[in-house]
Chains A and B, each alone.
Chain A
Amino acid sequence: MHITTEHPLSSFSLTALAVLFAANTALAEEPAVTTEAQPPAESQSFARGISDVFKFSGFGTIGVAGSDNDRADFISHMSQPNGAGYTRDWSTSLDSRIGVQLTYLPTDKFSAVLQVTAEQEYDNSWEPDVEWAFLQYAFTPNLSIRAGRMVLPIYLFSETRKVGFALPWVRPPGEFYNVPSHTVDGAGVLYTRHFGDVNYTFYGVYGEDDSRLPGIPSDVHSKSREGITLSNSFAYQDTTFRAAYSRVKLTIEGLDDLFALYRGFGPEGEEIYNEFSIRDREYSQLTLGAWHDPGKWFVGGEWNRGFSDTFIQPGDSWYITGGYRIDKFTPYLAYAQTRRDHGSIPLLSAASGPPFVTEPLNNLLLGIVRPLKQSTVTVGARWDFAENAAFKVQLDHIMTEENSNSLLYNVQPDFDLGDSVNVLSFTVDFVF
């Protein structure tokens, strides 16, 4: 359960980046493509100018979203401590963010990327986070390795989740994307190959992560270790199929202490701890996706199954979406749902302690680990009013279910599970 990365970036990647940026500036003084320089002997690539060696780019979103239900907060990702609905009617923090990226490309084979984003954090601050910071080396145009911080390629839009301009919607479907795991410090391999007309891409990443999540009474420290993500995509003309597997060992300190409380209540308590502990416990997921975009319209969807050795509910999530382009306008629809369930939940009986102790403990446990069920119908439109900017308006109708948790946050006692919430969002996404 994480999302917000802690600030001390693995010192290895930052130091390496700094050294490389400084040491290789001299290489940048090669002639640009338009000068009268002699052609390179092998004619393999254009000569590089300074603007090709260092590239500065950025993206951002200015958004406002409002909810019609004041008994729970709608949030756009798990690291947000509050959102629209309960805390305030309209939130400008849900979708607003800014990101800047410096890319260093001294040769065809070597590159370095540093991307920093600022958005609403677990502690309500807008402190910048290092989102990407990696060095890449291409042995061949088809085989590269990466080391540093990378965003995990678990789902189709995982890596571009924050780049609103590159997304068809205001934000990726929450039932699918509002989940743990985000970045990793480690190493990765990228391999591409053509099989006839099919472009195959393999991307594997291994590493670990430390993050903070908002929690009650205070934020919690989430650690993921031995995280491995393997993604395979097959692109044929306008269609892409994707299959990914991801596995991680999770620890959430504060939350595990809570489950450890139950160990004081005999064998039943021990069973509860074993079932839901979040200390070095495995969570894995299998994801399949397909996307078809011939230009005039698009349709796509993803399906995910989670397997859990901890309190996170195992189960399935999926979404389907489509849109039709009319010049600069792209109206779209989406439906998403998540159904995650532990099945029967072990509880403390009268044998383990007096009811005035076991009942609150049982209720606390049920509150955390009961099924997670939610579905959303989304309707919206994108207007590409400029080459670098798009305006979107989106209406989400979010349905919760009885006796189940939802992805809403700060849910008040008078919120009736089974109620629905309508969220209206307006965003301007831009790139530069």
Chain B
Amino acid sequence: MKNLHVKLATLGLLLICTAVEAAAEVVVVVGSNSPIQSLSRHDITDIFLGNATSLPNVGKVIPLDRSEDRIRAEFYQDYTGRNLPQVKSHWAKNIFTGRGYPPKAVSSIDELKEVLQRYPNAISYINENQADDTLKILKLN
């Protein structure tokens, strides 16, 4: 009986965790040592769609993408208002006119943290609950 309670409690906890994970907001992050403090939604769109490689008052900014479809889809929908096919179509336009390639992508959270730590002008995105003190969540202005 006690065992069952533990199991139920664990299951409950897992369900809550999953719910939190699903509901967690996607936030835009830089390394904790980055000089970048805040960006506008429009700046983020420009950087991730390759319309700008540097920003006034900030300098050069390097976008870092995520290879997992789910968070990528959520990020582009939330911050640029575009779904993945639209983003793909946008890059096709740039690639085949010699205007550039999409951002590099990392495939794990550890890799993301490592790259952001190493490159202070790099910028990426993460589920809010996965951010730790190696990262700085950017304010939107």
A residues touching B (Cβ–Cβ < 8 Å)? 33-34, 39, 43-46, 52, 55, 57, 59, 99, 101, 103, 111, 113, 115, 132, 134, 136, 141, 146, 151, 159-160, 163, 165-166, 194, 197, 199, 235, 237-238, 294-296, 325, 327-328, 384, 387-388, 390, 431
Contacts of A163 in B (CB 8 A): 92-93, 96
For residue B56, which residue of chain A has the nearest CB? Answer: A194
Cβ A295 vs Cβ B86 within 8 A: yes
Q: Which of chain A's residues has its CB closest to B122's CB?
A: A46
Q: Which residues of chain B in 15-34 are interfacial with respect to chain A, using CB atoms and an 8 Å cutoff?
A: none
Interface residue? B9 (CB, 8 A): no
Take A111-B98, A134-B98, A199-B51 as given contacts and tell me if A160 and B84 are in contact as well, using a CB distance cutoff of 8 Å: no
Most chain B CB within 10 A, of A33, A325, A431, is at A33
Residue from A132, A165, A238, A296 within 8 A of B98 (CB atoms): A132
Q: Are A101 and B96 in contact (CB under 8 A)?
A: yes
Taken together as a complex, chains A and B put the C-alpha atoms of A55 and B83 apart, in Å, by: 24
**How far, in angstroms, from A165 to B42 measured CA to CA in the complex?**
25
**Taking A44-B60, A295-B80, A296-B81 as contacts, is the C-beta distance between A387 and B88 under 8 angstroms?**
yes
| Contact partners of A199 in chain B: CB under 8 A | 46, 51-52
Q: A46-B119, A165-B89, A237-B42 are in contact. Are A141 and B95 (CB under 8 A)?
A: no
Closest 8 pairs between A and B when the two form their complex, measured CB to CB: A295-B81, A384-B85, A166-B93, A113-B98, A166-B92, A159-B97, A141-B53, A163-B96
Kindly state whether residue B123 has any CB partner on chain A within 8 Å. no
Q: Which residues of B contact A235 (CB under 8 A)?
A: 51
Per the bound structure, the CA–CA distance linking A59 and B119 in Å amounts to 33
Q: Per a CB cutoff under 8 Å, which of A99, A111, A134, A295 touches B96?
A: A99
* Cross-interface CB contact of B111 among A34, A160, A328, cutoff 8 Å: A34
Q: Which residue of A lies closest to B103 (CB)?
A: A46
Q: Which of B88, B93, B96, B115 contacts A388 (CB 8 A)?
A: B88
A43 near B121 (CB under 8 angstroms)? yes
Taken together as a complex, chains A and B put the C-alpha atoms of A141 and B54 apart, in Å, by 8
Docked pose: A165 CA to B122 CA in angstroms = 30
> In the complex the two chains form, is B119's CB within 8 Å of A43's CB?
yes
Q: Are A103 and B98 in contact (CB under 8 A)?
A: yes
Are B85 and A328 in contact, CB atoms less than 8 angstroms apart? yes
Give the Cβ gap from A428 to chain B, nearest Cβ, in Å. Answer: 14
- A44, B119: Cα distance in complex, Å: 8
Provide the B42-70 mask, 1 if CB < 8 A to any CB of A, else 0: 10001000011110100010100000000
Complex A-B: 5 CB contacts under 8 Å: A43-B120, A43-B121, A141-B53, A160-B93, A165-B89
C-alpha gap A46/B80 in the complex (Å): 24
Residues of B within 8 A of A (CB): 42, 46, 51-54, 56, 60, 62, 80-86, 88-90, 92-93, 95-98, 101, 104, 106, 111, 115, 118-122
Q: Please, how many angstroms separate the alpha-carbon atoms of A152 and B99 in the complex?
A: 14
Q: Are A55 and B96 interface neighbours, CB within 8 A?
A: no
The secondary-structure label for the interface of chain B is mixed
Closest to A197 in B: B42
Taking A43-B121, A295-B81, A387-B84 as contacts, is the C-beta distance between A160 and B97 under 8 angstroms? yes
Minimal beta-carbon separation of A43 from chain B (angstroms) = 5
- B46: chain A residues at CB < 8 Å are 199
Chain A residues whose C-beta falls within 8 Å of the C-beta of B84 in the assembled complex: 387
**Given the complex of chains A and B, what is the CA–CA distance between A384 and B53 in angstroms?**
29
Which listed residue (A101, A194, A387) contacts B52, Cβ 8 A? A194
Q: Which residues of B contact A296 (CB under 8 A)?
A: 81
If A101-B96, A197-B42 are given as contacts, then 5 extra A-B residue pairs at C-beta distance below 8 Å, sorted by A number, are A34-B111, A132-B97, A132-B98, A166-B90, A194-B52
Closest A residue by C-beta to B94: A166
Contact call A141/B60, Cβ cutoff below 8 A: yes
Residues of B within 8 A of A194 (CB): 52, 56
Whether A33 contacts B104 by the Cβ 8 Å rule is yes
**A-side contacts of B115, CB under 8 Å:** 33-34, 46
Please tell me if the beta carbons of B86 and A160 are within 8 angstroms of each other in the complex.
no
B-chain residues with CB within 8 Å of residue A115 when the two chains form the complex: 96
User: Which of B86, B98, B119 is most buried by chain A, counting CB atoms within 10 A of its CB?
Assistant: B98
Known: A141-B60, A295-B86. A166 touches B53 (CB 8 A): no
- Chain A: which residue is nearest B121 at the CB level? A43
**Shortest Cβ distance from A148 into B: residue:** B98
Decide: B62 and A151 in contact? CB cutoff 8 A.
no
Residues of A within 8 A of B122 (CB): 46
CA distance A327 to B80 in the complex (A): 15
On chain A, the residues within 8 Å of B97 by CB distance are 132, 151, 159-160
Please, how many angstroms separate the alpha-carbon atoms of A154 and B15 in the complex? Answer: 56
Contacts of B60 in A (CB 8 A): 44-45, 141
Shortest B95–chain A CB gap in Å is 5
Residues of A within 8 A of B56 (CB): 194
Q: Which residue of the partner chain A has the closest CB to B96? A: A163
A146 to B118, CA, bound (A): 33
Closest residue of B by beta carbon distance from A134: B98
| Bound-state Cα–Cα, A44 to B98, Å | 22
Write out the residue numbers on chain B whose beta carbons fall within 8 Å of the beta carbon of A384.
85
Query: Taking CB as reference atom, which chain A residue is nearest B60?
Result: A44
CB-based contact B92/A39 at 8 Å? no
